[in-house]
Amino acid sequence: MSVETFYDDDADLSIIQGRKVAVIGYGSQGHAHALSLRDSGVDVRIGLPEGSKSRPKAEEEGLRVLTPAQAAAEADLIMILAPDTKQAKIYAEDIAPNLNDGDAIFFGHGFNIRYDLITPPSTVDVAMVAPKGPGHLVRRQFVDGKGVPCLIAVHQDATGGAQALALAYAKGIGGSRAGVIKTTFKEETETDLFGEQAVLCGGASALVQTGFEVLTEAGYAPEIAYFEVLHELKLIVDLMYEGGIAKMRYSISDTAEYGDLTRGPRVITASVKEEMRKILGEIQDGTFAREWVGEDQAGRTTFTKLQNEGAQHPIEEVGKKLRGLMSWVDRPITETA
Ligand SMILES: NC(=O)C1=CN([C@@H]2O[C@H](COP(=O)(O)OP(=O)(O)OC[C@H]3O[C@@H](n4cnc5c(N)ncnc54)[C@H](OP(=O)(O)O)[C@@H]3O)[C@@H](O)[C@H]2O)C=CC1
Ligand SMILES: CC[C@](O)(C(C)=O)C(=O)O
Ligand SMILES: [Mg+2]
Ligand SMILES: [Mg+2]
C-alpha cells in the first residue's frame, strides 16, 4: 500500500497523557473526543461560550467546562471541534491571544487550514486527527472496545513532535485500534467534502428519496417502499462494510445480482459521473468553501429552507412510524452525549 498506516503499537499514549487538552465544542465529534480522551487518562477541559446548549451535556458527564478563551489559555493542546464556519472567529478571538510557543492546535477536519481561513503562528504545532465516521459512532465504537479509522496530518511541526502527538491523540479516541492513515490537510479536506457531498450524504440521500418517490408515485405502499429503499440499505451496506461489494453480491440472489450489474449503471450514468467531477472541481478550486462560508454569514437562509424541505419529505413520516415498532432500531443519537 502506498499510504502509511499506524496501529496501537505505533502510538505512545503517554505523550497525550502529558498534555493539557482543550476540546473546543461539545457536539458530535467534541463529545466523542472529550469523553474518550478522558477515559484514556488524558487531562481534558471543554471550551464553550456562556449559554451554549452543549454546556449541560458536558457538565452532566463531569467534565470541566470553561469559556473557549479560558480553555485555550489553560491548555497546551487545543482541538477545535466547533462548526467549520465558526472556527475562524473562535480562533481569532479566543485561541490566538492565548497561544504560547510550543502549543498545539488540532483540527478534526482540514477546512479552515486548506482554505486559508486560519493561519496559526509558526511557533505552534498544527495537526489534524480526523475520524472517518460520525462522532456518535466514534464514541460508541470506543466504548465497545473498537475504533473508527482516523486520518492524521501535520501542517506545521514547530516542536518536532507533532506527528507523535497526533498519533497519541488518535490512540486516545480509539482510532489506532482500527488504523490511522497519514495524509495532508489538502487531501483530507477535498476527499472528505467529496465523499459527503457526492456519495455518503448527498448521493445516498438523493438516491433513497428518489427511489421512494418512484415507488409511491407508482401506487406502492409507503411502508413497503420505505423498507425497500431505506431500511434494507443498511443491511446491504453492512455486507459491503464487512467484505466489500463482492461479499454483498455473494449474499444476494442471482436475480438481484443480475439486476445490480445491468441496471446499476443505468441509474449512475456517465452524466452522473460527470456531475461528480464538477462537484470535485468546485471543492478543489474553493467555490464550495466560498459558497458555504457566504451562506453561513448571510444567515443560512437557503440551508434552513432545504433542511426543512428534507425533514418534510414523506419518507420521514413513514420511517418514524416504522422505526417506532422496532425498539432496536430507534436508538437515540444523544445516548452517547
Ligand atoms: N459530525 C461529524 O461526525 C464529523 C465532524 N468533523 C469535523 O468536526 C468539527 C465539528 O463538527 P461537529 O462535531 O459536526 O459539530 P456540531 O455541530 O455537532 O457541534 C458543534 C459544537 O460547537 C459548539 N460551538 C458553537 N459555537 C461555538 C463557539 N463560538 N465556541 C465554542 N464552541 C462552539 C456547539 O455548541 P452549541 O450546542 O451551543 O451550538 C457544539 O457543541 C468540524 O470541523 C467537522 O467538519 C469531522 C468528522 C466527522
Ligand atoms: C460523512 C460526513 C462527515 O464527513 C463525517 C461524519 O465524516 C461529516 O462532516 O460529518
Ligand atoms: Mg468525514
Ligand atoms: Mg466532513
Please identify which residue in the block is written with the cell numbers 454546556.
55
Which residue, by CA, sits nearest to atom 7 of ligand 2?
A: 133
The catalytic residue among 109, 136, 231, 313 is 109
How many angstroms is it from 10 CA to the middle of ligand 3? 24
CB 30 within 8 A of CB 54: yes
CA 312 – CA 119 distance, rounded (Å)? 40
Whether 29 lines ligand 1, by a CB cut-off of 6 Å, is: yes
Region 109-119: mean pLDDT is 98
* Residue 34 confidence (pLDDT) above 70: yes
Region 242-263: mean pLDDT is 98
Answer with the residue of higher pLDDT: 2 or 229: 229
Q: How confident is the model at residue 332 (pLDDT cuts 50, 70, 90)?
A: low
The ligand that comes nearest to the alpha carbon of residue 196 is: 2
Region 193-219: mean pLDDT is 98
How many angstroms is it from 286 CA to the middle of ligand 1? 21
Which residue, by CA, sits nearest to atom 5 of ligand 1?
A: 29
CA 294 – CA 271 distance, rounded (Å)? 29
Q: Of all atoms in ligand 1, which is nearest to the CA of residue 112? A: 43
| Choice from 36, 54, 300 to test ligand 1 binding pocket (greatest atom count within 8 A of CB) | 54
Which residue, by CA, sits nearest to atom 1 of ligand 2?
A: 196
Q: Domain locations in the chain? A: 5-183, 196-325
**So what's the pLDDT on residue 327?**
81
> Any binding-site annotation on 232?
yes
Q: Which CATH class is domain 5-183?
A: alpha beta
Whether 188 lines ligand 2, by a CB cut-off of 6 Å, is: no
pTM of the model: 0.97
How many angstroms is it from 81 CA to the middle of ligand 3? 13
Percentage of the residues of the chain whose pLDDT score is greater than 70: 97
**So what's the pLDDT on residue 111?**
99
pLDDT per residue as tens digits for the range 154-204: 999 999 999 999 999 999 999 999 999 999 999 999 999 999 999 999 999
DSSP string, 43-66: EEEEE--TT-TTHHHHHHTT-EEE
Question: Is 231 a known active-site residue?
Answer: no
* Residue 335 confidence (pLDDT) above 80: no
Mean pLDDT of the chain: 97
Q: How confident is the model at residue 313 (pLDDT cuts 50, 70, 90)?
A: very high
Lateral strand order in the sheet of 43-47: 5-6, 180-182, 150-156, 125-131, 104-107, 77-80, 20-24, 43-47, 64-66
